[in-house]
Amino acid sequence: MALPALGLNPCSLLHLFLCQLLLLLLPSTAVGDSVQGPVPRVKFHAGDGRRALSLFHQKDLQDFDTLLLSSDGNTLYVGVREAILALDIQDPGVPRLKNMISWPASDRKKSECAFKRKSNETQCFNFLRVLVSFNATHLYACGTFAFSPSCTFIELQDSYLQPISENRILEGKGQSPFDPAHKHTAVLADGNLYSGTMNNFLGSEPILMRALGPQPVLKTDNFLRWLQSDASFVAAIPSTDVVYFFFEESASEFEFFEKLHTSRVARVCKNDVGGEKLLQKKWTTFLKAQLLCTQAGQLPFNVIRHAVLLAPNSSSAEPYVYAIFTSQWQVGETRSSAVCAFALSDIQRVFEGKYKELNKETSRWTTYGVPNINPRPGSCSVGPSSDKALTFMKNHFLMDQQVEGRPLLVKSGVEYTQLAVEMAPGIEGHSHLVLYLGTATGFLHKAVVSGDSDAHLVEEIQLFPEPEPVRNLQLAPSQGAVFAGFSKGIWRVPRANCSVYESCVDCVLARDPHCAWDPKAHVCALLPNPIPMSWKQDMERGNPDWACTSVPRGRSRRPLRRPQIIKEVLAAPNSLLELPCPHTSALASYLWTHGPGQIPEDSSAVYNGSLLLLLRAGQGGLYQCWATENDFSYPVVSYWVDSQDPSLALDPELAGIPRERVEAPLTRVGGGASLAAPRSYWPHFLTVTVLLALVLSGFLILLIASPLGALRARGKVQGCGTPPPGEKAPLSRKQHPQNSTEHRTSVGDVDSDNNHLGTEVA
Ligand SMILES: *[C@@H]1O[C@H](CO)[C@@H](O)[C@H](O)[C@H]1NC(C)=O
Ligand SMILES: *[C@@H]1O[C@H](CO)[C@@H](O)[C@H](O)[C@H]1NC(C)=O
Ligand SMILES: *[C@@H]1O[C@H](CO)[C@@H](O)[C@H](O)[C@H]1NC(C)=O
Ligand SMILES: *[C@@H]1O[C@H](CO)[C@@H](O)[C@H](O)[C@H]1NC(C)=O
């Protein structure tokens, strides 16, 4: 399915329609399974101690919507509902409240707001929307102010916020939205505030404007329809001469049977001063172009959600804008998201190309070449433009070409809402792109792109148990942390916890550019600066053979396959054992082995990764759980199981490996041990039942073999229509009369166990 030309001509629109129809008709699982995208290698649930996060929250404070990092990186300013906070983030752990100033909407505005049928419980407050560092001594802030946008300067003293006096509150129309539900964006560039938001109470008049600074105030022209009435701004990014705006709006240039969303980048020149006769106080350099983020075989990702610029540290590398997209369509229950990279030079090139022109009679958009006007209309050339150029600009604001992004990450079943990006230097001297992605349900994904490869997801962190969107992400590089705002507080998420990777193999397979293996200390640790020569990492290949073997490559592959430690389990024959195997990676497949061969199938089962084993005579020995990831296999855990003192019998191949005695019995059949252990085993119910049934079968066969027993058994079978639960299926096929100890098992024990289990599950 080729969809890159979203709506370029009626043919591809038909294609899109058919494709959409096809996707709707297909069973959602068939599509969903094939387009999952990368899976997070490790997942941390909310409150998991391996990824300890710190939460700042305070009673009566809500909507942690707007974040601003101080220039020294030590203070985080936070705009919440009706207040602004200064948080000290220098120390690890919970951010410390330095001070807080309240900035509520006035009572008059609140009652006017309620009078206009807005909710006094949820809407008629001052929701902070803009928070920028204006100069060395002042912040500039704007809020919805109970549907009456307002702005103010906030004085700083030693990064403490000074109270706002009521007479310093300014009109903020066009800088903050009226409605807290409306999107907005604002950025300060050269002392001017460039903002994109809704400019009216109803939310039907979007605006892109410049205010505040030494330059004249300029706006988009509402009458000329430069912006569709539903334009929704997500980011503003200043560059050398221009400011870029990223937004989504309905597409007027395509005819489609339903409302078609499209993503845009718009551009205005910083040196624009507006027209003299024409376009007074209006932009004379406003241009917009379509942004494309598509991948073959997927619905177009036509709704932009957020965008950030990553300026490279070396002047030779190219700056890129990274943006997240979702689709206006979805397959079944699952939404999909994509992250695309746009080269700034590609965006510039499109703004230097041809225009689109609306034919007023047919209402169709056609391509218009470059006009013969010098300087080119809309270019950032100095000096006043001619009337001819301005007349041209009034109707030629849409570029003909689209800006195509490179998809880095496409993932179904997730809706990304926010992103933050940074480059992380790796051991090999390359830098790796790290994307922190907040989801609509309160998760944070750490994605890494190395070289030209696609992104892989290092980890998924659940920030809060109740699903709600991550509203903001702020990277604090000097603190090595990302801050994530949500309705009730703000999380500090350290970049990485390398200690969760306990071996060199795990550390290398994780492919987290922030972590590397320190062979001297024998730990996976945060990569310090400067990078120590001896530390190990393999971002490109993730190959432990290469990174974790100290002998020259290719000489020996054994050491990594040798267990680090052997767990000795001493168990009586016919014990039921549970041998756990921690699944540290979602990307690995796991397999149990017994010595050099397969695990005994008739007396074992794997449940939730653990091996449940009924230890029969002669089946002791080495049991290993192997993980295979990235074409590399290694034992995750190795057990030596024996009914005698294991140290006597240990395989000579395993000599020299440290050992540790562990307890693994689940229950002992025949010994009368009950299942009432401190922890609950009833998830294992099915396996236990089957294993106990095997024992019972052996017992019954012995019983039936004796004449008296035969009589009793016959009476029993005739007496009840259905056999007890333990006597089902396996009875008929497998018979194990060889175990003499089973003979001593009393029927009462087994029955009561089975019944006990049965009732627990019922
Ligand atoms: C990092 O992981 C280790 C090992 O799981 C754990 O003990 C430690 O508390 C974690 N630290 C943080 C800050 O999450
Ligand atoms: C909202 O207004 C209603 C009546 O108009 C009032 O009873 C209620 O207390 C108000 N709520 C708040 C939070 O002011
Ligand atoms: C910063 O801006 C404020 C508000 O315009 C002004 O009062 C103050 O003098 C400025 N401070 C500096 C250091 O320029
Ligand atoms: C599966 O095993 C893990 C540990 O390996 C444990 O934390 C989890 O609770 C188990 N799940 C069930 C359903 O038993």
CA distance 105 to 128: 11
In residues, how long is the chain?
762
- Asked if 444 and 495 count as a contact pair (C-beta separation under 8 A), the reply is no
Residue 679 in tokens = 């922890």
Nearest CA to ligand 3 atom 3: 138
CA of 187 to the centre of ligand 3 (A): 18
Q: Could you tell which of 608, 612, 685 is best to mutate to test the pocket of ligand 4, judged by most ligand atoms within 8 Å of the CB?
A: 608
Domain 561-679: CATH class, spelled out: mainly beta
Question: CA 20 to CA 291: how far, in whole Å?
Answer: 20
Residue 27: both structure tokens together: 């069973």
In degrees, rounded to 5, the angle at the alpha carbon of residue 434 between the alpha carbons of residues 430 and 439 is 165
What are the tokens at 343? 């080269």
Pocket test for ligand 1, best of 500, 506, 514 (most atoms within 8 A of CB): 500
Between the CA of 581 and the centroid of ligand 4 the distance, in Å, is: 10
> How is the beta sheet containing 355-359 ordered, strand by strand?
232-238, 242-250, 261-269, 287-292, 398-404, 355-359, 364-368
In the DSSP assignment, the letter for residue 520 is T
Pocket of ligand 2 (CB under 6 A): 120-121
**321 burial via Cβ count (<10 Å: 0-12, 13-18, 19+):** buried
| pLDDT at 22 (0 to 100) | 45
Q: Which pLDDT value is given to residue 700?
A: 60
Tokens of 12: 């591809």
User: Ligand 1 pocket test: which of 497, 526, 584 has the largest number of ligand atoms within 8 Å of its C-beta?
Assistant: 497
3-state secondary structure of 166: helix
Shortest-distance Cα residue to atom 14 of ligand 2: 120
CA 709 to chain CA centroid, Å, is 64
Helix, strand, coil share of the chain (percent; to 5): 20, 35, 45
138 CA → ligand 3 middle, Å: 6
In Å, what is the CA distance from 762 to each residue of 214, 607, 682, 685? 75, 20, 11, 11
Q: Which two tokens stand for residue 380?
A: 């950032």
Class of domain 496-544: alpha beta
CA 588 to ligand 3 centroid distance, Å: 58
Q: Residues lining ligand 4, CB < 6 A?
A: 580, 582, 608-609, 683
User: Hey, where are the domains in the chain?
Assistant: 70-172, 182-413, 496-544, 561-679
Pocket of ligand 3 (CB under 6 A): 134-138, 153
Nearest atom (ligand 1) to Cα of 92: 13
Which residue positions in the chain have pLDDT lower than 50?
1-15, 18-19, 21-34, 551, 553-557, 668-683, 707-762
Is residue 624 within 8 A of residue 606, CB to CB? The reply is: no
- Cβ proximity of 622 and 594 under 8 Å: yes
pLDDT of residue 661: 83
Answer yes or no: pTM beyond 0.85: no
Amino acid at 388: K
Q: Tell me the CA distances in angstroms from 277 to 280, 378, 387, one per residue in order.
A: 6, 16, 8
Cα(741) to centroid of ligand 2, in Å?
77
604-630 as b/e: b if 16+ CB within 10 A = bbbeeebbbbbbbeebbbbbbbbbebb
User: Which is the closest atom of ligand 2 to the Cα of 120?
Assistant: 1
DSSP letter string, 199-215: -STTS--EEEEEESSSS
CB 518 within 8 A of CB 411: no
Q: What per-residue confidence (pLDDT) applies to 754?
A: 38
Residues 6+ apart with CB under 8 A from 629: 509, 585, 587, 588, 589
Q: Which residue in this structure is represented by tokens 């490996």?
A: 657
Q: How far is CA 414 from CA 51, 335, 405, in A?
A: 21, 6, 20
Fold of 182-413: Methylamine Dehydrogenase; Chain H (2.130.10)
CA of 427 to the centre of ligand 1 (A): 23
Atom of ligand 1 nearest to the CA of 502: 4
Residue 480: left (phi > 0), alpha (psi -120 to 50), or beta?
left
Count CA atoms closer than 13 A to 388's CA, side-chain side.
6
Contact 487, 63 (CB under 8 A): yes
Q: What is the pLDDT of residue 658?
A: 82
CA-nearest residue, atom 10 of ligand 4: 608
Distance separating alpha carbons of residues 265 and 149, to the nearest angstrom: 25
**Rounded to the nearest whole angstrom, what is the distance from the C-alpha of residue 48 to the centroid of ligand 1?**
9
CA 75 to chain centre: 26
- pLDDT recorded at residue 662: 83
What is the C-alpha separation between 149 and 143, in angstroms, rounded? 6
Ligand at shortest distance from the CA of 137: 3
Pick from 499, 501, 507, 514 the residue to mutate for probing ligand 1's pocket: most ligand atoms within 8 Å of its CB.
499
For every residue of 654-708, DSSP letters joined together read GTTS-EEEE--EEEETTTT--S--SS--GGGHHHHHHHHHHHHHHHHHHHHHSHH
- Counting ligands in written order, which one lies closest to the CA of residue 682? 4
Residue at 55: amino acid letter: L
Integer angstrom CA distances of residue 32 from 18, 35, 333, 497: 18, 6, 9, 32
Of all protein residues, the one whose alpha carbon is nearest to atom 5 of ligand 4 is 582
Cβ–ligand 1 distance for 497 under 6 Å, the answer yes
**How close is the Cα of 85 to the center of ligand 3, in Å?**
20
Q: What is the pLDDT of residue 452?
A: 81
